[in-house]
Amino acid sequence: MSEFEVVTPRAVRKLVDELVGKGAGYRTFHDQLRRDPCAKQLAAYRLSGPLAPIVCGIHLRRGFRLAFTIQPPEDPEGPTRVVILYVGQREPRHTESDVWSVLHDLFGVENPPADHLRPPCCDDGFPDVSQAELDAFLDELQRMTRGRQSGRRRSPPGV
């Protein structure tokens, strides 16, 4: 498989910057995503529930998770794009800050209450999100990260 272009939107870069010094291993996983997001050693998996068709996850180190999707090349001759959607810590007992709860809130869908099955990311093709869904998600994320910077806690959508 050819190399991929890893896209880290501006709002996500703020979250990535917060990982510095926490030993999450972000750079290593980022480089592996660039080579092949479907590689077995990466152990990327589909989320369960409503985000299954559009989001894959990766276990980083120290309880951190990374969510991504894949989009077609911007240029027909260019590389397929891996879009980093979110990075954060897995905290199932603290749903307001748990990476998967926040991700589901940002997409405006319910987080399945049952265990996640975690099937391999690419077995049924790449995850795929429409540009409109991605834009709406990134707008919500931008609002949330702006609120965190100013010290205000923002309620998730629909609350």
Answer yes or no: is 38 within a domain.
yes
Return the higher-pLDDT residue of 102 and 2: 102
88 pLDDT higher than 90: yes
CB count, 10 Å around CB of 92?
Answer: 9
In a domain, 159, yes or no: no
Question: Does a structural domain hold residue 44?
Answer: yes
- What domain range is 71 assigned to? 5-149
pLDDT tier at 115, thresholds 50, 70, 90: low
Q: Does 154 map to a domain?
A: no
* CATH code of residue 13: 3.30.2310.20
Residue 65 lies in a domain: yes
- Whole-angstrom distance, CA of residue 120 vs CA of residue 55: 11
**Does residue 108 lie in a domain region?**
yes
Q: Band the pLDDT of 91: cuts 50, 70, 90.
A: confident
Which bin fits 118, alpha (ψ -120 to 50), beta or left (φ > 0)? left
Query: What percentage of the chain carries pLDDT values higher than 70?
Result: 88
How does pLDDT run across 43-53, given as a tens digit for each residue? 999 998 899 99
Residue 129 is assigned to a structural domain of this protein: yes
Residue 127 main-chain phi, psi, to 5 deg: -65, 150
What single-letter DSSP state applies at residue 158? T
> In this structure, is residue 156 part of a structural domain?
no
Write the pLDDT tens digit of every residue in 60-79.
999 999 999 999 998 889 99
Contacts of 97 (CB under 8 A, 6+ apart): 88, 89, 91
Tell me how many domains the chain contains: 1
